[in-house]
Amino acid sequence: MASNQDDTHDASGSRNNVEKEIKRGLTVMKSIIRARDKGEKFEVHWSAEDQLIEPNGSMLASYIGFLVRQHIPITFDNWRSPELKVGKEKIWSEIQRSFHIDESRQKYCIQLAGKRLRGFRSFLSNKFLKDEEGKFVEAERPMKYAEIISAEEWDNFVAKRRNEKFHKVSDKNRKRASKPAYPYKKGRTGYARLQQRILAEEKSDATSLPEHVLWKAARVGKDGAVVEAVQNVYDECETLSQTLPSTEVQDCRSVLSRVLNVPEYSGRVRGKGFSVTPSSFYKKPKTKNPTNKEVMETLAELRAQVLELQKENARYREERCGSEAKDTSDRASINCQPKFPEGITPCQLYLSSPTYRIVGKGKVHNTSGELLHHNPLPMGYMNVSVDLVLDTDALLPLPDVVSETTVDIDEGVFGIAHSEIIAKEDMQQLFEHEELGIAVIHTYIWYMYDTLMRGTELCNRFNFIAASRINTTLITKNPTSVKNELVDRFMAAGDNTTPSLYFLLFNSGNGGHWVLVAMDLSRLMVYYLDSLSGDWSKYPSMKKTVDAAILKFRSKKNYRNRKDITWVRVQYFDEYKSYSRAHLDEMKDELCQFIIDQRII
């Protein structure tokens, strides 16, 4: 192509005398012009990955470079600009006049034209606007390109290249590209034609090569020597390809990408070259992010499902309570019998109605032959001596033999198996509406999961993060560890193909004040609810950790980060702008009943 051929010009002589420096004129692809005048068209061939190959592949690529310089001004930086529509149509029309090419290949050719235009602009900058050290210098319009670049167009181009913002980007990219860890050594031969040549030399019936095989071949010099670092990467790829399940190899992250372990561009497959994308190479269907309207409709459906489940749960509780015997001993409120050790054990006495409360302290006498009023105790009953009465109206207390209990919460709730210690102080917080600790928070999350979500599709829509794994203290001590904990929780949810929310109750470190953070990983949205004034800026370390975890998760999943993470403050839920004491008592009663059902106390 013209731009690539121009790149091979010698840079000898003074840069101030561009007329003497470049002897050769513009490339006009005369062979194509002559064939077109005779009414002949060239056949074009494509690889298994739909890339241009020989014969005539390099000819078409060069011709596209010639056409884009003829029809697209060098001052256009945005290839998607609607103003370029006419020029792109002209390029495609000229291609069809000289090559047998299907309409389905138009996208490929236009994308290649954009790449050639960027290459031509870089060539002009490096050749005429920079000195040997890469610094920008004064230069007049090169007369060689006067036919396709007007004086005004050149002045605008130079002004853009002298922009301070462009200089920063240029310097950054030059430094990044100056010392590649694994330099490409095949010149203008792209991956597609290199693959074609290797398959022809080996007389192979295969249509393509594994990415790491092609990647290694592209880094072998003319002497055939392989650099040790390149060979090490290749060997690791060979080993990994033998151990990974076939389904995991095809997860849009190649073996080569895993071994190199570097950030990937979302629209490319490393080791395959131009135009090969994950969706086309791995034959994966494209996924479309939901619109705001679709998200709101989904939330409305979920809200309706939750309300229906709450109604069903209420009906179930009413039916269960109605089936239990009601007597003056308040036996209906005592529906669990904890296991007591033999002998005499101190205990605390509770009742569950009309409110959950401690009513006394005493001792449980679990001894054989125990009598009550000269009669043996019925099966399942034990004698309790009351040492301290706190409620004189209590009829029959429920004993609690220990001051704290360890409960095991299965991995469905927080993504990993979790143990929680619930002490009597935690119950006191609940009964007296005090500031709540982690134990009560986790138990209520467990209750919601068990009552509303377990075994339903809501498990795919809502996920909880253990509050004990991310708080101000832990972030201060080891932010990296907390970030990795969050990433592991995101990964535990699977492929995240269904839009879902991750809920985190974050303790501010100011006593028992909690804020709610809800993360939507697919839309890069974070919702923040705080009963106090202010927003997330009060907790910069928390926001920084959450943002970093989301970006790291999307990177590990090879998702494209198209925009910044957006944080939105939520004032209140639609159902309730605030919660009355009656609402809180209702939730407290439900949680306490769950605690008794689970035999926690």
Whether residue 404 has pLDDT greater than 80: no
Is 186 a member of any domain? no
Which residues contact residue 487 at a Cβ distance below 8 angstroms, ignoring those fewer than 6 apart?
A: 549, 552, 553, 556
Task: Render pLDDT for 77-102 as a digit per residue (tens, 0 to 9).
Answer: 899 999 999 999 999 999 999 999 99
* CATH number of the domain residue 493 falls in: 3.40.395.10
Domain boundary among 243, 265, 281: 281
Do 548 and 461 lie in a common domain?
yes
- What band does 540 get if pLDDT is binned at 50, 70 and 90? confident
Is the four-CA dihedral 212, 217, 220, 225 of positive or negative sign? Answer: positive
575 and 447, same structural domain? yes
pLDDT-derived band of residue 283, with 50, 70 and 90 as boundaries?
A: low
- My answer on whether 490 and 414 are in the same domain is yes
**211 in any annotated domain:** yes
> How far is the C-alpha of 232 from the C-alpha of 237, rounded, in Å?
9
Q: Is 295 a domain residue?
A: no
CB 403 within 8 A of CB 416: no
> What is the per-residue pLDDT for 320?
58
pLDDT at 93: 94
**Residue 241: domain span:** 191-281
At position 108, the amino acid (one-letter code) is Y
Residue 299, in any domain of the structure:
no
Residues 504, 548 within the same domain: yes
Secondary structure (3-state) at 407: strand
Contact indicator for 524, 514 with CB cutoff of 8 Å: no
Instruction: Name the percent of the chain lying above pLDDT 90.
Output: 20
Domain boundary pick from 178, 201, 222:
178
Instruction: Identify whether 534 is part of a domain.
Output: yes
When divided into structural domains, the chain yields a total of 4
Q: Read off the amino acid at residue 79.
A: W
Alpha-carbon Rg for the chain, nearest whole angstrom, is 36
What is the distance, to the nearest Å, from the Cα of residue 435 to the centroid of all Cα atoms in its chain? Answer: 34
pLDDT at 371: 64
User: Contact, 278 vs 269, CB < 8 A?
Assistant: yes
Task: Give domain status of residue 99, yes or no.
Answer: yes
Pick the more confident residue, 338 or 146.
146
pLDDT band at 242 (very low <50, low <70, confident <90, very high): confident
141 and 77 within one domain: yes
Out of 168-182, 226-240, 354-368, 478-492, least confident range: 354-368
Q: Are residues 168 and 214 in the same domain?
A: no
Q: Evaluate whether residue 272 is within a structural domain.
A: yes
Same domain, 363 and 384: yes
Residues 421, 362, single domain; the answer is no
pLDDT of 386 strictly over 90: no
Q: Tell me what pLDDT residue 28 has.
A: 67
Same domain as 470, residue 344: no
Which of 348, 382, 400 terminates a domain? The answer is 400
Among 134-148, 247-261, 519-533, name the one with the lowest average pLDDT: 247-261
Identify whether residues 209 and 222 lie together within a single domain. yes
- Residues 410, 374 share a domain: no
Q: What is the value of pTM for the model shown?
A: 0.47
**CB neighbourhood size of 534 (10 A):** 10
* pLDDT tens string 11-50: 334 344 444 444 555 666 888 989 988 889 999 999 988 9
Residue 225 resides in a domain: yes
CA 250-253-257 angle, to 5 degrees, is 130
Same domain membership, residue 568 and residue 434: yes
Residue 379 is predicted with a pLDDT of 63
